[in-house]
Amino acid sequence: MKTRHLFLCGALLLLCATACRHENNNATPPQENEEAVVRPDFSADSAYAFVAAQCAFGPRVPNTEAHRRCGAYLRQTLERFCDTVYVQEYSVRTYNNLTLKACNLIGCFNPQAEKRILVAAHWDSRPYADHDPDPALHRTPIDGANDGGSGVGVLLETARQLSLKRPETGVDILFFDAEDYGSPQDEEGSTDDWCLGSQYWAKHPHVTAYKARFGILLDMVGGQNAVFCKEGTSAFYAQDIQNRIWNYAARLGHAAHFSPKETPAIIDDHLYINQITSIPVIDIIEYHAGTGSGFNPNWHTVNDRLENIDRASLQRVGEVVLYTLYNE
């Protein structure tokens, strides 16, 4: 995906869980005999094409021409599909005191609807391949096909489908910027150096007093044969939402790729939205047990390229997102 995911202190989460966890006792898991709302068919080929279009600009590092051009493309694409598009331009300071010109993009469906769901991904890419096996490449920007590009691709295809068959609820598609500009692994930095765009949006939402029932963050959802586990920060703040969406995935036949395994809490865009806005947000993110980080093997390496994106993974995640939007 994204920014360097740092693990939160599991003991602290367990200590606070009883007092702080978001609960919804009225939420019930879907039953096998329930009738699902008819929804459009997600196209993995279309989502893949949206990922390819982002990668064609080159690494989408803030303050670069590739970043500017990709931002314009994303805005134009959202404007094709959405009822309303908000462009949130702002400046942020990085871990090394650099000023980034950043831009969050928000595409809205049914903007007058009181009941809303947000779905999000980050659209920038990492300026450093600092986890590449070759140390000589550690200051090389990455393509970010999976880390950022895959989530955006799924949500652009989601927007296309929503424009063809509108759901009854309001839907807000958020593309966060400046998520992946945290300090390289060989330099000191703060965990708050990451996810700068979501931190900004949570403090300055595109609509005054913005509320949503819940949210879904997509990060690194295009890995080969990706498996998505129940990530700890999501479980801490929005366990009922997480369980419900995993039940939807099982109903769609994706139980093998939406595992009930509980994995450590991570810092990603959803953390700051949960903390600052109290909107319960979960993260759908690949967990890879074979790597020391728990992330996809191509995470923050020069191999995070288009050829390593799996259409089948995009399809599974896209189907789960659409199912959720049309059944909530």
pLDDT at residue 301 greater than cutoff 80: yes
Structure confidence by residue, pLDDT tens digits, 67-92: 999 999 999 999 999 999 999 999 99
Kindly state the percentage of the chain with pLDDT values over 70: 88
Residue 7: predicted pLDDT: 42
Q: Does domain 10-327 have CATH number 2.40.50.140?
A: no
Residue 40: predicted pLDDT: 84
Average pLDDT of span 31-37: 51
H helix or E strand, kind and range, residue 40: none
**Sequence spans of domains, the chain:** 10-327
Residue 33: predicted pLDDT: 45
Average pLDDT of span 4-12: 40
Average pLDDT of span 243-272: 98
The whole-angstrom separation of Cα 324 and Cα 321 is 5
CB 173 within 8 A of CB 120: yes
Kindly state the percentage of the chain with pLDDT values over 90: 85
Residue 29: predicted pLDDT: 45
Contacts of 4 (CB under 8 A, 6+ apart): 130, 180, 182, 185, 194, 300
